[in-house]
Structure 1
């Protein structure tokens, strides 16, 4: 039977639509194929693991070896298989390409000369992790680029000058004492094993709530802010998993996933909490200005400085800017400082000779420890060395990425093209056996003043370097010194051999099963 004219008329649009769709799919496939071939050519000078990310990990490209792996290379970073990463560092000097799916690659570097060349430039932050973080934190100093980053950095810098940090020392000591009193109540006069990471996280949150908002939260005792901490933790987990899921890189796919809905709920709760505090402070500042009052706060907190900040043109932070910067400071401060203190206690427990030497130094400076001031902190030479060695072994921030705006030529003559995403792998840099002798050994003497000139200035980068170094690094070091000094004066710390520390990457470095230590009150 012949096809009628009417049937042909109705079928033609569907036929044309099908042909158009097929053409678009074919063009996109060709585009991806050409992109992959270009990446393979660009990366030919750099040997590395197989580029395919598949169950067997089989793959081969020019300059790469073939073979079978249980997981692709990106799975190693996702799962925190640090031993295998360290093997790659030995096998592929300076750097190697780590593929995320068949069409995207993060070029990992961990050589001091490479790092110096990389950090001397002003390439924008990578679109991957930082773009995903924006959905949780907003566009703050962590993810901004160009003029806006420079404006924010200049406006925020006064919040971290030494006069402000001096006023925070007593606030930090108060929060640390609450934590130690709680431990003393649990332990009594007996040696007791405690999971310390959760308590340290709450202590860091308490300090930040006071330093950022001047809020007396009592969160260490009644956990009234668990929802804030949980929101940040769960949101970070979703973002980290998204970064290693090739399909979720596409917003349209992620938008319809259950993870997106859960993330949006977390973001709404965080925004509501932060917005309430900002609006209350604005009202209080307005009342103070109208009635000539100075308020009850003993020092300027982070929010005060953000609300009063203006540049030469009179521009100030918008509500979105305030939300982003406050949450960035809270998240970065709690997770990085809390994690670093936990790793420091763990390493001092594992190395009692260094713990005792720190304790002797601190007792010589503080006496009975009834008070601790800013001036005391600069005298803690050996304790500072132990803090730095901990930051080398367990850098809370494992790395950061930038997208090359221009071709990058390294000191050895090899080059990467514009558009390539480059990651400075801090973990690999700090564990690189070509830089550090016996890199797995806890040895604070690496940071003795006499050894400073013996190592490359870009071999130790826990706070990055160059113009985009961590703006809060002095705040972090101050809190770490206050916390470890007060802790060692009150407790002797020993490891729990049945529960060794296992660290995993979750945007920032986290303990997989907590941090368990034996604590004994010092008489």
Structure 2
């Protein structure tokens, strides 16, 4: 938890910039897509918390990199479902003629530049203050610092290995949070009575002023967390989970899944099953009250997967999302013309809204 607490300065600083940028939309009184603001803020946050790198130095580069992440994610998903693109040479030709190669180059280029810069900083700091590098109380290591440190101790990661891990963290930590934040704000815009209840909770904790949000503040925002979880129930960012059995799994006397079998687990089906949730297509945060949660099996909610291979960043994600959402809702009220029936889903590696997340402040 100490490491997560160290990120709150970044959470607050980046989201305060978001609040300032949203003023422009508030003044127009027109509908706009939340994605173009929320996605860049989420990317800012994950880059600084995991790589120690501030993307705000160049807004154009940040936008280009975010778009490259989305395009490469969509392309990777498309390649899974189109067997004729499986051979590397075929996909390389396809990427060249469709312009996708530029997106992949961007996704590789920026993290590699950051890695080279951080390695130089790390070595310089090690020469100047070797004791500080080993003392986590004095020096909060980022994910990238830990990988570099492991290399120094003989892990033998190549820069390409480190880059691939960093990109995985950036997609897993920024895209997922951004999509969830957008869906949650859209749901609250559709349900003004629930939005008002969330606002009252936030105001009772933070007061009337825009002050620094601490860990204890977001931990007290229990109803906001219910709203996030209910959003993830209806719109799980990862609609499918892939697993492989290590041993035979007995589901019934008549059905046994053999060892080494690939399995697809669909959270979206489990989450929208009337056996697990009453009126499953209605957005109702009370589904995640303590009383209702205790009635269900814990694996009826798989937004962060579950078991030993569950999402390692679930606590980070929830804290980060609650800071972003609470700061927005503390400063603005949202409305929308969209209805639940208007939301069309688009699935690549993640599940997005095909028509965006249009609201008015």
TM-score scaled by length of structure 2: 0.89
Q: Residue 177 of structure 1: which of 16, 19, 22 is its match?
A: 16
Quote the Cα distance in structure 2 between the aligned partners of 1:283 and 1:321: 18
The structure with more helix, counted as a fraction of residues: 2
Residue in structure 2 matched with residue 198 of structure 1 by the alignment: 36
Aligned-partner SS, 2:31: strand
The reply to whether residue 467 of structure 1 matches residue 300 of structure 2 is: no
Q: Contact 1:254–1:260 at 8 Å: present in 2 too?
A: no
Quote the Cα distance in structure 2 between the aligned partners of 1:507 and 1:327: 14
Q: Contact 1:271–1:323 at 8 Å: present in 2 too?
A: yes
The reply to whether residue 326 of structure 1 matches residue 163 of structure 2 is: no
Q: Contact 1:247–1:253 at 8 Å: present in 2 too?
A: no
Quote the Cα distance in structure 2 between the aligned partners of 1:477 and 1:403: 28
**What is the deviation of 1:389?**
0.6
Residue in structure 1 matched with residue 188 of structure 2 by the alignment: 348
Residue in structure 1 matched with residue 205 of structure 2 by the alignment: 365
Quote the Cα distance in structure 2 between the aligned partners of 1:252 and 1:182: 42
Quote the Cα distance in structure 1 between the aligned partners of 2:308 and 2:204: 37
**What is the deviation of 1:422?**
1.1
Change over 3 Å in CA distance of 1:327–1:392 after alignment to 2: same
**What is the deviation of 1:328?**
0.5
Show the 5 A alignment for 1:44-443: 162-188=1-27, 191-218=29-56, 222-249=59-86, 251=87, 254-255=90-91, 257-259=93-95, 263-292=100-129, 299-309=140-150, 315=155, 317-367=157-207, 368-411=209-252, 413-443=254-284
Q: Deviations over 1:206-240 (max 9, x none)?
A: 11121122222227x83322232222211112111
The reply to whether residue 516 of structure 1 matches residue 340 of structure 2 is: no
Quote the Cα distance in structure 1 between the aligned partners of 2:82 and 2:37: 32
Q: Which has the higher contact order (CA 8 A, sep 6+)?
A: 2
Structure 2 unmatched runs, 5+: none
**What is the deviation of 1:406?**
4.3
Quote the Cα distance in structure 2 between the aligned partners of 1:288 and 1:405: 44
How many residue pairs match? The answer is 353
Change over 3 Å in CA distance of 1:198–1:501 after alignment to 2: farther
Show the 5 A alignment for 1:4-83: none
Quote the Cα distance in structure 2 between the aligned partners of 1:239 and 1:222: 26
Structure 1 unmatched runs, 5+: 1-161
Change over 3 Å in CA distance of 1:300–1:356 after alignment to 2: same
Q: Contact 1:205–1:334 at 8 Å: present in 2 too?
A: yes
Q: Deviations over 1:28-54 (max 9, x none)?
A: xxxxxxxxxxxxxxxxxxxxxxxxxxx
Change over 3 Å in CA distance of 1:178–1:361 after alignment to 2: same
Aligned-partner SS, 1:462: coil
Q: Deviations over 1:39-86 (max 9, x none)?
A: xxxxxxxxxxxxxxxxxxxxxxxxxxxxxxxxxxxxxxxxxxxxxxxx
Q: Contact 1:363–1:369 at 8 Å: present in 2 too?
A: no
Quote the Cα distance in structure 2 between the aligned partners of 1:372 and 1:333: 20
Quote the Cα distance in structure 2 between the aligned partners of 1:292 and 1:186: 47
Structure of larger gyration radius: 1
**What is the deviation of 1:315?**
3.2
TM-score scaled by length of structure 1: 0.63
The reply to whether residue 451 of structure 1 matches residue 288 of structure 2 is: no
Q: Deviations over 1:451-492 (max 9, x none)?
A: 222001110011111111111111110111101111111111
Quote the Cα distance in structure 2 between the aligned partners of 1:461 and 1:288: 42
Q: Deviations over 1:138-196 (max 9, x none)?
A: xxxxxxxxxxxxxxxxxxxxxxxx111111112112111111111113323x6332211
Quote the Cα distance in structure 1 between the aligned partners of 2:252 and 2:45: 43
Quote the Cα distance in structure 2 between the aligned partners of 1:266 and 1:184: 31
Change over 3 Å in CA distance of 1:404–1:269 after alignment to 2: same
Q: Deviations over 1:327-378 (max 9, x none)?
A: 1000111110000000000111111111111110110001123221111111
Aligned-partner SS, 1:510: strand
Change over 3 Å in CA distance of 1:198–1:413 after alignment to 2: farther
Quote the Cα distance in structure 1 between the aligned partners of 2:158 and 2:308: 24
Aligned-partner SS, 1:315: coil
